[in-house]
Structure 1
Amino acid sequence: MSTAAPALEISGLTKSFGTTRALDAVDLVVEAGTVHCVLGENGAGKSTLCHVVGGSLTPDEGGLRLYGTPYSPRRPADALAAGIAMVHQHFSLVPTLTVGENLRLLRLRDLPRRVARVREEYGLELDLDARVDELPVGVRQRAEIVKALLREPRLLVLDEPTGVLGPSETDALLATCRRIAGAGHAVVLVTHKLGEVARAGDAATVLRGGRVSGGGPLTELPPERLVPLMIGRPADALDAGLAGTIGLAPEGSSPADGDPRPDAATAHGRTGAALRLRDVGVRRPDGTSALDGIRLDVGFGEIVGIAGVEGNGQSELMALLGGSLTPGEGRVELDGRDVTRAGPRERSRAGLGVVPEDRLHEGCVPHLPVADNLFLGRLQGFRRYGALLDRRAMARAADAVLTEHGVRADGPGALMSSLSGGNQQKVVLARELALDPLICLAAAQPTRGLDIGAVAAVHSRIRDAAAAGTGVLVVSSELSELLALCDRIVVAYRGELLGPVDPSEPGARERIGALMLGAPTPRPGEDGARPAGAVR
């Protein structure tokens, strides 16, 4: 290790919001030439720490030093001038501009050269002519990362950057982190995925309740020792599916092994399809096909997963199910009822719960209180004298939901925008699970940005919903998550659904991986390869 000054020194950092102390006397040292991982549960203070380093929040107490020099940013421009680039959980791109127009806002003289260098060195491809608001969330995240790298930073801070990236993009990003560290600069990587910590990190700091609960060189802290620092429980207390989702299971193993599921067709006594898609087609604004005549049934009590690299139609499928996108052709049925042209409110009342991939912009109203977001669409249940809302009754009901789902918030009156990303996700999921009736739940990236304990709770609630007879459709970039949860998995590839694959069959992981690349694969026991075909 170099004897030069650390890239970043934080001492006694304290930050409060009202009665909530987000950071409490935090000390942290990031050495130059290293990747330093910051871990912790939702609400542990990780994002607040990032905002302080990035200049968008001012600490109440404590100090920072950057490469040995006192550093006291008062605005994000100060961080940029000091050579710090940030990638936050929530995107900063202007949605109505193209990717290229957003990059030109950086006012870099040699922008074309820098874009070409990032593409060549890190394998991060972008369509500069695409409008940001028409891009899948994973591609928007990629654009944010490219935007940060164009500044050639000496300290790069990444707040949960891989949650919306596919496996190959995640590999490329982690390799990018190593290259930046290898050039003598430093990276702060905030992540819940312990597999990423082991692959990319040199050291780690764990936050718990706003305080440092432990840390040090990763040569002395294997993932199994990081888990109790984060959640207060040993790693061997985690089930195989959860261990695989956070990156603790062996790479070649299947979390579904030894995890028997009830027969989805008989566990609840209902037959038929909770959700049925027939020959559904959707075209993008540029005329290309986003969904190409897909057919899919989700049975009552069945959990169906959709795997695939971002940008293969998953975003359009979720927008279609949520009612914000109407198909150009085909039919959508919910328990036999045609809801193809139904709006979001009508679908919710019919029993279709949707957890969108972009929770902040599509799943909630950030400037409204948590209670209002929990009961959107059900406010009539709290009305008095026709028009007035019984706020006390709403607060009591919201308090019970927050406790049940482990949401960390400064009460039901707190604004949604004040919650961490993971806690926002918990609120959105809790709202959709509370629909009565709940015929089908469609959830995109349901555990994105959640800590280990919250992931376990979400998995449990999804299984409980299926056991009660609800059909469940899960779209996830986490293959281990799908293998752990699902009765069958289909793969989104260029607007089609390929498969299905039984998660318990030998070689399921490898077969899904091949389908994600569009390769024909044989089923177990078959000779030779053949196309998987669209799900019928």
Structure 2
Amino acid sequence: MNAPALEVRGLARSFGAVRALDGVDLVVAPGTVHCVLGENGAGKSTLCHLIGGGLAPSAGTMHLYGRPYAPRRPADALGAGIAMVHQHFSLVPTLTVGENLRLLRLPDLAARLERVDREYGLSLEPEARVDRLPVGLRQRVEIVKALLREPRLLVLDEPTGVLDPAGVEALLTTCRRIADAGGAVVLVTHKLGEVARAGDEATVLRGGRVAGGGPLAELPAERLVPLMIGRPADGLDPALSGTLGLAPTPPDTARSAGADAGSRAPALRLRGVTVRRADGTPALDDVTVDVAAGDIVGVAGVEGNGQSELMAVLGGSLAAHSGTVTVGGTELTAATPRERTRAGLGVVPEDRHHEGCVTALSVAENLFLGRLDGFRRGRVFLDRGALRRAAERVIEEHGIRADGPGAPMSSLSGGNQQKVVLARELALDPLRCLAAAQPTRGLDVGAVAAVHGRIREAAADGAGVLVVSSELDELLALCDRVVVAYRGRLSEPVATNAPDARERIGRLMLGAHDTAEPERTEARTA
């Protein structure tokens, strides 16, 4: 009998008083894709760091293909044939893709790149600068970096959250090809639809311990979800149905509160917004859209069609070449991020790690970034006690798992960092408009339901909401209407309660014209 590709026994790791992993057992067979599931803070990323040599275990042992394996640094894992793709990117942003790849110092780099492109369909633009790439393409570079090493074991920590549908399919195909060739893959994901398509076995973590697992042929979604969240799947948000592999949400469950949007004042108004790339081609091309107070509007589309630039313009990190941005009657086209916050515009960027938080600061400081003046004691000092107490309330209310308000942001899992960013933006007073890119990216199924509830509450309280998401199921269940980004332009809105909404949006994402009767003009005031 062949030895397991990876065998973990009794693995434990603590961070202060927090027991991130507690006696975890995991066996990954050669030729398989082994999925690791669990809520945010369940210990999944910690397990990945232990396997990849970024952390040392407090207890337990690991074996790799039958040999004792105890890495003291990531280089040891690479030398043993393990390649890792983390949630947070390790690319040098100011270098090009090709320059980042040459840092690997691999022989025959060009031939290896050609093979990865040929076998897995993962092509790259070597001359593109990393910090100018959409987050999904940056993730593709990380995945290619791992595959270039021709690993015996590939560990992927939430790799599909930033990929478009085509990229997700390419990655899942890659996982299967590696396994079919005799290698092994550990795939950490929240998306049970992906698990069903690519996985052979699963291990579910909850609270740092193994809650269950086994062959996926014996574990349908209806059994996996309770293992992940510790309660039945009944009553979960309808938007989860598509990604969980549960029964799809009927069209008539979609929101319809925005039907009278044309009679309400716009919370967000974009007029003729245009952004040009360095080569002169438009990233955003005369974008005009309104979001009414109390309405939720979704932006769908394959990544790279202007969604990233749209969010950057709203957040103030990218200046439009022409056009105007207005929130609640206040023009913010040239405003600083602080001025946008004071005007009531909350922005959740797609890259929460680099753009949405300051990882060197504490959770409490990140929760009140831009509003720390409210905790001043005199001109210089912060009232740390008041800040801690306020942060404790938010942490409890939003279910953020952290070792207290003073814990560094860098110590949180990606999903919990996302919760902090969302909590901060939702707490703006007044909150006139929330613009959120991928608001549930990296969140577990229970947290997704909570986030959707808070977005709906914000709309019910009178805020306009713009949601950019790669999850069409999420947009259909959460939004009143959806516009589609294609080659820098936005389509006319599609009402999500229309029986053919999914098909119409799908056609628009592929660049086809909407063949349905156009909505009346005021419906564009979403």
Q: Distance in 1 between matches of 2:307 and 2:66?
A: 46
Other-structure match for 2:245 = 248
Give the stretch that moved more between structures: 382-391 or 407-416. 382-391
Q: Deviations over 1:361-403 (max 9, x none)?
A: 1001100011111111111111122332110000000000000
**Residue 67 (structure 1) aligned with residue 62 (structure 2):** no
Other-structure match for 1:300 = 293
**Residue 183 (structure 1) aligned with residue 181 (structure 2):** yes
Q: Distance in 1 between matches of 2:438 and 2:188?
A: 18
Other-structure match for 2:391 = 398
**Residue 258 (structure 1) aligned with residue 256 (structure 2):** no
Structure 2's unaligned 5+ residue stretches are none
Q: Deviations over 1:464-493 (max 9, x none)?
A: 101111000000011110011011101111
Q: Distance in 1 between matches of 2:278 and 2:438?
A: 24
Q: Secondary structure at the match of 1:257?
A: helix
Q: Secondary structure at the match of 1:236?
A: coil
Other-structure match for 2:225 = 227
Q: Secondary structure at the match of 2:491?
A: strand
Other-structure match for 2:108 = 110
Relative to structure 1, is the Cα distance of residues 35 and 406 closer, same or farther in structure 2, using a 3 angstrom cutoff? same
Q: Which runs of 4+ in 1 moved over 4 A?
A: 253-256
Give the stretch that moved more between structures: 187-196 or 511-520. 511-520
One of 27, 43, 46 as aligned partner of 2:44: 46
Q: Distance in 1 between matches of 2:96 and 2:313?
A: 23
Contact kept, 8 Å, 1:355 with 1:429, in 2: the verdict is yes
Other-structure match for 2:118 = 120
Give the stretch that moved more between structures: 255-264 or 386-395. 255-264
Contact kept, 8 Å, 2:256 with 2:497, in 1: the verdict is no
Aligned ranges for residues 348-387 of structure 1 at < 5 Å? 348-387=341-380
Q: Distance in 1 between matches of 2:237 and 2:420?
A: 24
Other-structure match for 1:461 = 454
Contact kept, 8 Å, 1:497 with 1:535, in 2: the verdict is no
Opposite residue 359 of structure 2, the aligned amino acid is P
One of 31, 34, 37 as aligned partner of 1:36: 34
Relative to structure 1, is the Cα distance of residues 521 and 270 closer, same or farther in structure 2, using a 3 angstrom cutoff? closer
What's the RMSD between the two structures over aligned residues? Answer: 1.7
Q: Report the CA distance between 1:260 and its aligned residue.
A: 4.5
Give the structure-1-normalised TM-score.
Answer: 0.95
One of 122, 132, 135 as aligned partner of 2:133: 135
Q: Secondary structure at the match of 2:493?
A: strand
Using the aligned pairs only, state the percent identity.
Answer: 72
Contact kept, 8 Å, 2:254 with 2:496, in 1: the verdict is no
Q: Distance in 2 between matches of 1:262 and 1:312?
A: 28
Q: Distance in 2 between matches of 1:108 and 1:142?
A: 18
Q: Report the CA distance between 1:247 and its aligned residue.
A: 2.7
Relative to structure 1, is the Cα distance of residues 179 and 524 closer, same or farther in structure 2, using a 3 angstrom cutoff? farther
Relative to structure 1, is the Cα distance of residues 270 and 422 closer, same or farther in structure 2, using a 3 angstrom cutoff? farther
Q: Secondary structure at the match of 1:448?
A: coil
Other-structure match for 1:6 = 4
Q: Secondary structure at the match of 1:188?
A: strand
Structure 1's unaligned 5+ residue stretches are 527-533
Other-structure match for 1:529 = none
Contact kept, 8 Å, 2:269 with 2:289, in 1: the verdict is yes
Q: Deviations over 1:43-96 (max 9, x none)?
A: 000000000000110101111000111111111111111111100000011111
Contact kept, 8 Å, 2:20 with 2:208, in 1: the verdict is yes
Q: Deviations over 1:190-243 (max 9, x none)?
A: 000011111111000000000001000011111110011111121233242222
The size of the alignment, in residue pairs, is 522
Q: Distance in 2 between matches of 1:428 and 1:241?
A: 21
Opposite residue 289 of structure 2, the aligned amino acid is L
Contact kept, 8 Å, 2:32 with 2:179, in 1: the verdict is yes
Q: Distance in 2 between matches of 1:260 and 1:60?
A: 49
Relative to structure 1, is the Cα distance of residues 441 and 118 closer, same or farther in structure 2, using a 3 angstrom cutoff? same
Q: Report the CA distance between 1:262 and its aligned residue.
A: 3.0
Q: Report the CA distance between 1:524 and its aligned residue.
A: 6.0
Opposite residue 243 of structure 1, the aligned amino acid is S
Q: Secondary structure at the match of 1:86?
A: strand
One of 305, 318, 322 as aligned partner of 1:312: 305
Contact kept, 8 Å, 1:300 with 1:470, in 2: the verdict is yes
Relative to structure 1, is the Cα distance of residues 259 and 495 closer, same or farther in structure 2, using a 3 angstrom cutoff? closer
One of 279, 289, 293 as aligned partner of 2:272: 279
Opposite residue 123 of structure 1, the aligned amino acid is G
Q: Secondary structure at the match of 1:28?
A: strand
Q: Report the CA distance between 1:168 and its aligned residue.
A: 1.0
Q: Deviations over 1:127-174 (max 9, x none)?
A: 110000010101100111111111111110000000010111101110
Q: Secondary structure at the match of 2:392?
A: helix
One of 207, 211, 234 as aligned partner of 1:236: 234
Aligned ranges for residues 429-444 of structure 1 at < 5 Å? 429-444=422-437
Give the structure-2-normalised TM-score.
Answer: 0.97
Contact kept, 8 Å, 2:296 with 2:478, in 1: the verdict is yes
Relative to structure 1, is the Cα distance of residues 355 and 256 closer, same or farther in structure 2, using a 3 angstrom cutoff? farther
Opposite residue 81 of structure 1, the aligned amino acid is G
Q: Deviations over 1:426-448 (max 9, x none)?
A: 00000001111110000000000
One of 175, 198, 202 as aligned partner of 2:196: 198
Q: Secondary structure at the match of 1:80?
A: helix
Contact kept, 8 Å, 2:255 with 2:480, in 1: the verdict is no
Contact kept, 8 Å, 2:480 with 2:496, in 1: the verdict is yes
Opposite residue 325 of structure 1, the aligned amino acid is L
Q: Distance in 1 between matches of 2:388 and 2:373?
A: 15
Opposite residue 50 of structure 1, the aligned amino acid is C
